[in-house]
Each structure stands twice: as C-alpha cells, then as structure tokens.
Chains A and B, each alone.
Chain A
Amino acid sequence: MVKVEFLGPIGKAPVEMEAKTLADVAEKLKEDGTVKEWLPKCAVALNDTMVSDLNTPLKDGDRISVLPPVCGG
C-alpha cells in the first residue's frame, strides 16, 4: 500500500491504495471527482522529493504528496 496526501487548500484526508507506479495512482485519483479537478494544476512529491515521471516505481509504504498551486511571500 502507498499513502497519498493532499496538501494546502485541497482539504482532503489522506488515502491509501495499491499502486506499482505513479501512473496507477493517477488512474485511481481520476475516479475521485473532487481530486480530479485539481490534478492538472498539481505537482507531485514522492517521499518529499519532487518527481516528474509517471513510470516512477512505487514500493510498500511510499508516501505521495499532491501539491496545488503555490503563492509564498
């Protein structure tokens, strides 16, 4: 199982799922209507490191963070 957490204003509790790659995570998140709307504008971190490849392999216990648009300062 991997854990997916939604940061900042997304305001959704973390979810756990079976996934072998980030592509699997993407497929499952698209089934959630609320989350689906956020996905085009969100970046992704795996265990607190930013990632950019959907084929990134996942292992049991991995933590995926979904980061919506930012505005510091």
Chain B
Amino acid sequence: MELYNGSLDVKEIFGRWLDEEAESNYGAYIPFVGTIRAEDGIEALSFDIYEPVLRSWFDAWQQRAKERGAVVKMAHSIGDVPVHTSSYVSAVFSPKRRVALELIEEFVEDFKANAPIWKYDVKNGERIYAEDRSTPMDGSGLLA
C-alpha cells in the first residue's frame, strides 16, 4: 500500500506494478483509477487518512486475495487533489480473469465502506467535509 501527498502519478504506479509482477505468471491484471471530477464548483478534493487502521484493513485484504491466488495493490492521496487528477488507484493480479474481476469489485466497494479515509470538498480554499457522500463504517454506533 502506497500513500502520497497530493495527486497520484498513475502511469508511474501502474507501470511499476506491471514490472513488479512481470515474472509472477499472473494471466490477469485489472487496474482501477479514481479521478476527481469537476462538479459543484469544487477546485479539489482533500483527504485525511488514519494510517494504522488503513494498513490493518489492507493487510486483511491481501490475505483474502492470497487465499484465492491473487494479489491486491493500492495507492491513495493525502491532502489536496485537484480536479482531473487521481487520488486513488488499485489493482488485482490473478492467474485467471474471473478471480480478478470479482476481487476488484469486492475490494473497491469495501474500500469505499470501510477504509478510514475522510473526504472534503475544497471550495474557495476552504475544506468542507463530504458528509452526504460518506458511509458509517461497519460497527458504527457502538458508543451511542
């Protein structure tokens, strides 16, 4: 798992991941790219990450992928990411396409629901928590 300040260098990351697994005999490599869209007058999105829990979450996913003969990779931005650039990339490598296609969907959906990352709209230089697009993590409400 890789974390960067600001926008991701998508081509460098995907190219390097391809090189890393060039001799691993995987038949399928399925990348996912999340790009910031220009909407609602935003200049950028901005992200806070709680790294210790994110690492645990990602380690559990690596184990789940390994049990299916696959590998998951991801990179995410911290701080401001301007529109039309990317804040999130992930990928699955697997021996055959079916496992990779299933895993990329499960992985990205669980990422959205349970990765400890908080998103803010940036408008006129101000950070505004994207509350209406955010999802309570599994187990929320324990202390209520």
A residues contacting B by CB (< 8 A) are 7-9, 22, 25-26, 29-30, 39-45, 48-52, 54, 65-73
Contact = CB atoms under 8 A, between A and B. Distances in A.
Given A70-B113, A70-B116, A41 B130 contact: no
Name the prevailing secondary structure of the A interface residues. Answer: mixed
Interface residues of B, number: 36
A64 to B, nearest CB: 9
A70 B53 contact: no
A44 to B, nearest CB: 5
Contacts of A54: 142-143
B92 interface: no
Interface string B131-144: 10111111111111
Nearest to B138: A43
A30 to B, nearest CB: 8
Given A8-B50, A70-B117, A71-B117, A44 B56 contact: no
A69 B120 contact: no
Given A8-B50, A68-B134, A43 B140 contact: yes
B42 to A, nearest CB: 14
A72 B76 contact: yes
Kindly list the 4 A-B residue pairs having the minimum CB-CB distance in the complex, ordered from nearest: A8-B118, A72-B117, A69-B134, A43-B137
B47 interface: yes
23 contacts: A8-B50, A9-B131, A25-B143, A26-B142, A30-B143, A41-B136, A42-B136, A42-B141, A43-B138, A43-B142, A44-B143, A48-B52, A50-B53, A51-B139, A52-B142, A65-B53, A67-B50, A68-B134, A69-B140, A70-B135, A71-B119, A72-B88, A72-B112
Contacts of A69: 131, 134-137, 140
A40 B114 CA distance: 16
Given A44-B142, A54-B142, A71-B119, A7 B111 contact: no
B26 interface: no
Contacts of B118: 7-9, 68, 70-71
